[in-house]
Amino acid sequence: LEALLEGIEDLTLDIPAAASLLSHFVADAYLDGVLPFSILGEWPGAYQDKPVAAEVLRQALERLDGRTPLGGSQVEQKQKVRAQLRPVVEEYLQSKDVGEVRRRMAELRVPEDTQCELVRVGIEIGLERKDHERELVSQLLSAAYANPIRPEEVSKGFEALLARVHDLAIDNPQAPSH
């Protein structure tokens, strides 16, 4: 990617859309975990004397808006992760596609120490649903065990649920037995 950024000025002479395409590749490289976010923070300064390269990086960061590493306290981070994962689980209940859940977790860049939130969100959603959907959540958690959710994160997710079982029982009296 650095070599392409170095030569992007010349590439755009032959391929006018090269800058836009490269910005897309740079953003995807970050989302796929190939390119660390720290590099994206360093590159703009290195390419400020190359306007097309600087524009590529600006467009890449614009594409990543809202998908960069989470800021704030750990409680705020977990709340953000839960809010992001809820639609992922809802979509899974429709599609039954575990691969899509894995891809979305990678795309959302869910930090390893907050992956327990998939367990929590999945089971909380399952408690609101019928037996069939609870079974689907169970299948999702089994499939996600170790990839992408580390075993210790699965444990943390269940511990968080057990700590809240009385609160969950207020809305759903069957929560403890489920």
pLDDT tens sequence across 1-48: 899 999 999 999 999 999 989 998 898 888 777 887 778 778 888 888
pLDDT value of residue 67: 60
From 29-33, 93-97, 105-109, 151-155, the region with the lowest mean pLDDT: 29-33
**What is the rounded distance in angstroms from the CA atom of residue 132 to the CA atom of residue 92?**
13
* Cα 132 to the center of its chain, rounded Å: 26
Would the pTM count as exceeding 0.75?
no
**What is the rounded distance in angstroms from the CA atom of residue 86 to the CA atom of residue 108?**
12
From 4-8, 76-80, 172-176, the region with the lowest mean pLDDT: 76-80
Residue range 88-109: average pLDDT? 90
Q: Count the Cβ atoms, other than its own, within 10 Å of residue 129.
A: 13
**Beta-bridge partners for 149:** 145
**What is the rounded distance in angstroms from the CA atom of residue 25 to the CA atom of residue 40?**
13
* Cα 60 to the center of its chain, rounded Å: 17
How crowded is the C-beta side of 4, counted as CA atoms within 13 Å?
13
Higher pLDDT: 138 or 35? It is 138
Q: Shortest CA distance to 58 belongs to which of 73, 69, 47?
A: 47
pLDDT class of 91 with cuts at 50, 70, 90: very high
Residue range 71-89: average pLDDT? 77
